[in-house]
Structure 1
Amino acid sequence: MTFMNSLKTSMAALAVVAMGTGAALAEFPERTVELIHPWGPGNAMAVSQIIAKAMGEELGVDMPVISTPGAAGTKGQITAMEKPADGYTVFDGYVAPLVLQPVLGNADWSYSDFTPLHAAVSNAFAIGGRPDETRWSNFEEMMEYGKANPGELRYSSGSRNNLPHMVIAKVLQSYGVVAQNVPYTQDGNAVKDLKGGVLDFAFVNVGNYIQDKEAFNIMLVLSELPGAKASYDGAPSITDLSIDLGLSGLAPMGWTWWIVNPDTPEAEVAKLREAMTAAMKRPDVRASIEAVGFVPLDWDHTEYDAIVGPVFDQLKAMGNALEWEVEELKKLN
């Protein structure tokens, strides 16, 4: 081999090494990072899009929100779990698929099986009645009426055995009030029947409230977070009651905590955490979230177990309240 040929061979080898080194040094992320969202279009997805857009800007890539509804949120969770653990898939970890479905025995994972990035948002539930109600003027007066008239009060939580039903059943159990839950497949029908007097009170989500504030007398906001109370224009919350319901933190409301596959490399996890933390601190992001009635959450990954762990325990207690409601209604029949 001549010197020139030898030199060319050596240079070619160096080029290959250089290309390999360049690829190894390529910074994450190089392409789109997907957020798997467990619900269809609506306020929850809109809020996730707000955060994902800001987080993508921090990362320097697009971050689309992929709607994957089905099976009470577990379809989206399973879809995300089946993706490669390379940092390019983030789970929009809502309470229903992340904690509630495992509590109900409908999922074989635990919240602790995932790696947290940062808390995202909460959306508080409320108990609303008719503005022209004359039998009571506040929630505790309604509870006095319900205790004196077992089984007479009729309410809706939307579908049965969902999270709002569990929370309301726990509240009623705390007061010893037996009421009839009337299931609906659409929130609009429940609101119509509340206005018409078919229902005495109903679960109200913040989207319903913002859309038609005059339709409801918000008697109780089912959260102790100041931001949740503000979302319902300062209506009474569980902190204003004369008894302790045993509901605290994120347990009595909807919320999401963004998570990733536990096998995701630490370097990629760190980048994602940094970007989401920066996004959640941005004033424009927080203002946009609050405009929809949701509350931005400030907990980072180090607080995941301390915040989410108690939710698991409280949801178990709420499940017991559902059983109590069923048994007490049977006694009246």
Structure 2
Amino acid sequence: MFKRMMIAGVAIASVLGVSAAKAEFPERTVENVFPWSAGTAMSMSQIIAKAMGEELGVAMTVISTPGAAGTKAFKTAMSRPADGYTVIDGYVAPLVLQPVLGNAEWTYKDFKPLHAAVSNAFSIGSRVGETRWSSFEEMMEWGKANPGKLRYSSGSRNNLPHMVIAKVLQSYGVVAQNIPYKTDGDARKDLKSGVLDFAFVNVGAYLQDKEGFDILLVLSELPGAKASYDGAPSITDLDIDLGLSGLAPMGWTWWLVHPETPDAETEALRSAMAAAMKREDVREAITRVGFVPLDWDHDQYEEVVGPVADQLGAMGNALKWEEEELAKVRQ
């Protein structure tokens, strides 16, 4: 009888052991909900997701969910179970900018951070062969002497590049006209032809056409961002404090999960992403296309992301300043 009980106990323990093993997280594919359409930024997330999946031992896929300035992806992710199988690709626009503008009901504090992912710095570019100035500060001197004469584009109006550029111009007391375009490509064509005096140039456009622009200023203090533009001057090289630091003046993303995600699952995801972001193959692949891999871990989230909301608020005030000063010039 005792022997039969022992055998039965072993069998039960074996079954329980198998069940326990199957219950280990993760058992299936983990999805990253990405807020934009397919493109270079999405390919960066796919690089990280592939490596992270390898660390977790399961596939990790990136699901493009564009719409509503990135907030559709957040709403989609937050509607799913908080079980660790959904990761939010937390780009600055839906995470911080849209809440600041009153277009989202959350703040960055309403999520659990996993790890910082990547940044893509913006730059201010002039046309090649410009004779009125040879540096950003010379262009600011020209602009101050000619209020309202500088014409520039940030692509669409009131986006993050527009906010950053307006804050820079305000710091120098330079009033300029922002010309909206439906596509960045059209703006860059007009920059080259002289219709515009300067424009926002992203790293992808620069790498595709390095000879097509004179990069006057990289809007980031990260060394990797400056390297992406082949050592062009950055905001750290200016003699004026722009009030822009950390992640505020650029595009970036942190990966997040629902705040109710269990601690064990959260820690598993954090460990996997931290390991993925340290891998040389991952860092090289990200750097190769001009993005910058970020090293901040989850415990630095508040320190790094917290100041961005205040700086975005200041940049929003710069947009209002730009409109008011242009109205004065036109009177």
2:179 is aligned with 1:182: yes
Q: Which whole-Å CA distance do the structure 1 matches of 2:18 and 2:99 have between them?
A: 44
**2:147 corresponds to which of 141, 146, 150:** 150
Paired residue for 2:257? 260
> SS of the residue aligned with 1:53?
helix
TM-score (norm 2): 0.95
* Offset of residue 151 of structure 1: 0.4
Describe the superposition over 1:213-247 as per-residue Cα deviations: whole angstroms up to 9, x where unpaired. 11100000000110000000000000111101010
**1:46 corresponds to which of 38, 43, 47:** 43
Q: How does 1:71-150 map to 2 (within 5 A)?
A: 71-150=68-147
> SS of the residue aligned with 1:66?
strand
**1:66 corresponds to which of 54, 63, 66:** 63
> SS of the residue aligned with 1:64?
strand
2:305 is aligned with 1:308: yes
**1:251 corresponds to which of 248, 252, 255:** 248
* Offset of residue 55 of structure 1: 0.3
Q: Which whole-Å CA distance do the structure 1 matches of 2:108 and 2:11 have between them?
A: 46
Describe the superposition over 1:122-166 as per-residue Cα deviations: whole angstroms up to 9, x where unpaired. 000000001110000000000000001000000000000000000
* Offset of residue 332 of structure 1: 1.5
2:282 is aligned with 1:273: no
Paired residue for 1:296? 293
Q: Which whole-Å CA distance do the structure 1 matches of 2:31 and 2:90 have between them?
A: 13
Counting aligned pairs with the same residue, the percent is 75
Paired residue for 1:241? 238
**1:220 corresponds to which of 193, 217, 220:** 217
2:2 is aligned with 1:23: no
Q: Which whole-Å CA distance do the structure 2 matches of 1:218 and 1:209 have between them?
A: 9
Unaligned segments of structure 2, at least 5 residues:
none
Partner amino acid, structure 1, of 2:125: G
Q: Which whole-Å CA distance do the structure 1 matches of 2:242 and 2:80 have between them?
A: 40
- Runs of 4+ in structure 1 off by over 4 angstroms are 13-21
> SS of the residue aligned with 2:199?
strand
How many positions carry a matched residue from both structures? Answer: 326
* Offset of residue 14 of structure 1: 8.8
Q: Which whole-Å CA distance do the structure 2 matches of 1:105 and 1:162 have between them?
A: 14
* Offset of residue 19 of structure 1: 4.3
> SS of the residue aligned with 2:60?
coil
* Offset of residue 185 of structure 1: 1.2
* Offset of residue 15 of structure 1: 6.3
Paired residue for 1:160? 157
TM-score (norm 1): 0.95
**1:322 corresponds to which of 294, 297, 319:** 319
* Offset of residue 24 of structure 1: 4.1
Partner amino acid, structure 2, of 1:308: V
Partner amino acid, structure 2, of 1:312: A
* Offset of residue 23 of structure 1: 2.9
